[in-house]
Amino acid sequence: MRISKSITCAMTLALGTMNPWLMSESEACGGFFCNNQPVIQTGEQIIFGVDHDTQTTTAIININYSGMAPDFAWLLPLQVNPTEIKAGPSQAFVVSNQRTQSQFRITEVETKGVCSVDEIAFRSGAEDSATTQASPNSEDPGGVNVLQQSQVGPYDSVVLQGSDPEKVFDWLIENGYRLTDEMKEPVIPYVAKGDVLLALKLSKDQDAGDIQPIELVLENTEENATEAPEACIPLRLTAIAAQADMDVTAVVLSNSGRAIPVNYNHVEINKAKIDWMRGGSNYRQIVSEAADEGSGNAFTTEYAGAASVFDDALYQDGQYDVQRLRSQTDLGLFLQELQSQGLRFRPELRAIMTRHYPEVVNCRGCPAFQFEGTMIDPNDAVDEIEERIIDPEIRVQKMFDSFKYATRLYTLISPEEMTIDPILDFDSSLPEVSNIHEAKMIQYCGVGGSPGSAGVEIVLTDGTVISFDSNGNRDRTILDSMPSALRVEQLAEGTLIQDNSTNIRDILDEHNVVNGLAGCGCESSTTNSSAAGSLAIVALLGLTLIRRKRR
């Protein structure tokens, strides 16, 4: 099943690249709030919901920004006026990463030989690395058509249309949007050809820490239309502030099968080049190299399968009790109730608490019970929590539940390559793709030696064997000379551009000869699964994929 129609493409432009303050459970320091450094997250992340039955596309876009609040400005040229503009939940991107990003695991460890002690010669390397619409269609005297204007979560938003780009920008600047010539020039062609322009700025009482994703609903407005607005990843304007190898991730939900890039190539990565000993720590580099081998404009599919992977991901029935929150007039008990309902670690909460109860945020490491006895009226804070956290999570969970299929596409791209906005289509004939990749480790030991003292083999699920010599030496010189892309394809056209499998096999054979086993007395062997005795071993292997993102 192939569905494609060019309707709309959201283009993003923001100043800066730092996400708002984010604290995960693993970063908890014992107090209600801690003075953790913000999580720096380069790249662009979008979640699409493409519904061809209702002819609507929902786009939840993560906004990255670093700088002073008055300087924040965000622009999205669109081919249609959004029917809804709302604040989106940051947690949607947390759970989408947890459930669909690629992971590389050694799930079975086998020891061969007569071993003296049950220890590991090869370490993981972890120790080495870590909407309300207002005045629609009101014509401004300057020739600018204000289609809608409202406050959306922490933002003041406006959707404009005008034939003269200069007058559109003048209107925005006069109304407090901090735009520069650098931001203006790439947008001019879109405004000139009649696209509408969505602009956001922080409301006067909001800080940079209030920044959160934006959710747009776009509907097909053409008569007799039978298709939804297509999913298009905004890149061209991103190039203004992007650094080399910027991460781009799109999670696409639909009932039409697997999402594919139409105007970009697709690469299948070479798993034999993955550093399995370190939980795939070189995965990001391999994707970058594979994309370059695919002409620089290429995606890899990290997950393609049932959308049920998002079941109960954001919200479960009964998860939040707003009335119970409103009933807590003691600040300490209010904080405890936030924690018991799982709201403490939501990225948006810190800014809300800073606005209403700054003493809590300023008291670093203070436990919730320390504030018992302080009487409050929690309703204003709960109103914000409901608007900016609870309602968006419930709404997006319903969107997750309404689709059968999910696809996660990922690439790294540099500014000079951001000349085309990727358009996504669907092909239900393509196979599913798991984001969980598993391998087996065989450790050889000489008589009386330790596991791995005579070498180690990594065995992939397709039977591929990667050998390393004894005593913990992991010479990857030959491995790293392999192509990073197993295949380069153009999925929309159904063509294979390049098949590197033979070249990879030859180089891997060379590596295995040079790094072959040192020989051992293989008189006995033991096998431990990850569910049994090798849990301690697996823990040492650093099996969680670590992505280091830089901007």
Mean pLDDT by 10 residues, the chain (551 residues): 43 38 37 40 82 92 80 83 94 95 94 59 37 44 83 93 87 89 77 85 86 91 66 76 84 96 96 94 96 91 97 94 97 95 91 93 88 96 96 97 98 87 94 96 73 81 90 81 97 96 97 75 46 32 32 33
The CA distance from 86 to 96, in Å, is: 19
Distance between CA 376 and CA 464 in Å, rounded? 63
User: Which pTM value belongs to this model?
Assistant: 0.82
DSSP assigned state of 69: G
Q: Could you tell me the two tokens for 392?
A: 């968006």
Which 8-state DSSP code applies to residue 51?
A: E
Measure Cα distances from 444 to 50, 295, 426, 472 in Å: 51, 41, 46, 12
Query: Residue 390 has what DSSP assignment?
Result: I
Angle at 247 between CA 245 and CA 249, to 5 degrees: 150
Cα 228 from Cα 255, distance rounded (Å): 12
Residue 162 and residue 177: Cα distance in Å, rounded? 17
Q: Measure the CA–CA gap between 2 and 256, rounded to whole angstroms.
A: 8
Q: How far apart are CA 165 and CA 187, in angstroms?
A: 8
Query: Locate tokens 């000869």: which residue?
Result: 513
Q: Are 231 and 56 in contact (CB under 8 A)?
A: no
Tell how far CA 351 is from the center of its chain: 22
CB 325 within 8 A of CB 378: yes
Closest residue by Cα to residue 168 from 151, 188, 182, 138: 188
CA separation, residue 270 to residues 479, 480, 486, 549 (Å) = 11, 11, 5, 21
- Cα 458 to its chain centre, rounded Å, is 29
What confidence score (pLDDT) does residue 180 get?
79
Report in angstroms the alpha-carbon separations of 276 from 104, 124, 168, 445, 462: 7, 9, 53, 20, 15
Task: Tell me the C-alpha distance between 200 and 222, whole Å.
Answer: 27
pLDDT score recorded for residue 310 = 97
Query: HEC profile for 196-259?
Result: EEEEEEECCCCCHHHCCCEEEEEECCCCCCCCCCCEECCCCCHHHCCCCCEEEEEEEEECCCEE
Burial of 465-485, coded b for 16+ CB within 10 Å and e otherwise, reads ebbbbbeeeeebebbbebbbb
Q: Give the contacts of 193 (CB within 8 A, at least 6 positions apart).
A: none
Distance CA 145, CA 268 (A): 46
Task: Return the H-helix or E-strand segment holding 150.
Answer: strand 145-152
End-to-end CA distance of the chain: 38
Q: What is the pLDDT of residue 178?
A: 87
Beta strand pairing call for 246-254 and 44-51: parallel
Tokens of 12: 């993003």
* Rounded Cα distance, 478 and 504, in Å: 11
